[in-house]
């Protein structure tokens, strides 16, 4: 009887050699750098020309984790120039960056359901794991096929994995504050079930959290619970059994204040049920909000203290951290969530994303007459060149040419 041997693990290749990274840096800067953004940042974050003022948030755009992921993807294409290079979905949540990666010949192998199609890849191929990470199952399948894996998973995401694996080791359910369909949350959830121990439940909102808290305190209709959270819990999850001991984790790009409120409410529910001694035994939480996400939220909070006519938030519509910046702006002043400068169609028309409707819409007469003050921020996956394009487009729509802005 013949057997098929498992391919040997791919030999690790150091992509971050000085010569490779120097070439990568030149290429990345040519794609994403902005002299305009650098100038505004160097002069305190404000640019005024002929009565039009643009305020740029103190922290915006690419974070370290995103820069690292992009650098490694570019390096992989350069080092493995003679090989097929694939990627598990989007490197980050920005369509312009993902198009650039695709244009370099990196092929996405995730299907419409978010599953990796690895049947036709083997030891001679390279697969990039994006910044969000991937599931334990997908990673195991790649290793079984002996492919060269280039893992760009963000360190903050891996910190969350460490926490949920610890919960699993203690046979605790991880309640994950996040979006159940988001790549990062799916990857985290896969690690909350470790070595046949542990379970997970994903909560998106404070309404979800309150529903869970009521069940923790009083129990309830098990089938109604499972129906409400369909697709957001681990196989075999039973709220009557698996809410006895819980640990709260989160998708790293959620709003810190909301995650902290999730933590407090669940802790209070466990305390009400088990008393002070019981809460120490049956409840855990860890602060795992991404530092860059928090910095961008804090910077926008500061900028919103200024008197501004409107706010533009630039980034991919499926970017979680960008969507939260838009939510913050919407609570204070007219805010438009745009993908790029092309959405600023004219002074009388802007196309922007309505989060709660999950679709683009248009608004008329959005741009005030001069003198006007406009705030700009961008998510952690938005490159500076897209921010520059937006700034120059604003001035252009106000009748101020590029040459006047750059002088």
How far apart are alpha carbons 31 and 99 in whole angstroms? 12
Task: Evaluate the omega torsion of the peptide bond into residue 371 and state whether it is cis, within 30 degrees of 0.
Answer: yes
Greatest Cα pair distance, the chain, in angstroms, is 82
Under DSSP, the state recorded for 305 is T
For the four alpha carbons of 12, 191, 61 and 90, in that order, the dihedral sign comes to positive
Q: Where are the alpha helices (DSSP H) in 104-219?
A: 136-144, 155-169, 183-191, 206-218
Distance from C-alpha of 233 to C-alpha of 193, rounded to nearest angstrom: 11
Give CA–CA dist 13/21, Å, rounded: 14
Q: Is 261 a catalytic residue?
A: no
Q: Is 314 exposed, middle or buried (0-12, 13-18, 19+ CB in 10 A)?
A: buried
Whole-angstrom CA distances from 172 to 165, 201, 244, 282 are 9, 11, 8, 8
Q: Of residues 29, 115, 183, 184, which has the active-site annotation?
A: 184
Kindly give, in sequence order, each residue whose CB lies less than 8 Å from that of residue 317, ignoring residues fewer than 6 positions away.
323, 337, 339, 353
Side-chain-side CA neighbours of 310 within 13 Å: the count stands at 19
Element (H, E) at 54: strand 52-56
Active site residues: 184
């Amino acid at each position: 009887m013949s057997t098929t041997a498992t391919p040997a693990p791919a030999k690790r290749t150091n992509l971050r050699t000085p010569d490779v990274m120097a070439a990568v840096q030149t290429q990345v800067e040519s794609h994403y750098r902005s002299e305009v953004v650098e100038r505004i940042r160097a002069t305190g974050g404000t640019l005024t020309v002929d009565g039009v003022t643009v305020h740029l948030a103190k922290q915006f755009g690419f974070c370290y984790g995103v820069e690292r992921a992009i650098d490694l993807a570019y390096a992989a294409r350069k080092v493995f120039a003679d090989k097929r290079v694939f990627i598990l979905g989007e490197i980050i949540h920005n369509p312009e960056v993902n198009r650039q990666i695709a244009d370099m010949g990196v092929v996405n192998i995730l299907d419409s359901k978010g599953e990796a199609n690895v049947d036709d890849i083997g030891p001679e191929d390279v697969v990039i794991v994006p910044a969000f990470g991937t599931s334990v199952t997908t990673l195991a399948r790649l290793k079984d096929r002996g492919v060269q894996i280039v893992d760009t998973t963000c360190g903050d995401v891996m910190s969350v994995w460490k926490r949920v694996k610890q919960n699993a080791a203690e046979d605790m359910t991880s309640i994950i504050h996040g979006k159940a369909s988001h790549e990062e949350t799916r990857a985290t959830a896969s690690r909350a079930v470790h070595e046949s121990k542990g379970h997970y439940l994903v909560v998106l909102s404070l309404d979800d959290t309150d529903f869970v808290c009521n069940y923790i305190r009083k129990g309830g209709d098990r089938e109604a619970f499972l129906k409400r959270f369909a697709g957001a819990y681990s196989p075999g999850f039973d709220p009557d059994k698996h809410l006895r001991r819980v640990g709260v984790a989160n998708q790293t790009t959620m709003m810190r204040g909301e995650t902290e409120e999730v933590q407090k409410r669940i802790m209070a529910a466990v305390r009400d049920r088990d008393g002070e001694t019981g809460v120490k035994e049956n409840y855990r939480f860890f602060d795992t909000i991404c530092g860059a996400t928090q910095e961008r939220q804090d910077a926008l909070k500061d900028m919103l203290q200024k008197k501004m006519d409107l706010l533009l938030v630039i980034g991919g519509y499926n970017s979680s951290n960008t969507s939260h910046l838009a939510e913050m702006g919407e609570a204070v002043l007219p805010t438009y969530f745009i993908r790029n400068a092309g959405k600023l169609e004219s002074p009388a028309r802007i196309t922007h994303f309505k989060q709660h409707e999950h679709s683009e819409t248009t608004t008329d007469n959005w741009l005030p007459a001069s003198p006007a003050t406009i705030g700009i921020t961008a998510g952690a996956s938005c490159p500076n060149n897209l921010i520059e394009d937006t700034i120059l487009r604003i001035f252009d729509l106000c009748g101020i040419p590029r040459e006047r802005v750059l002088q």
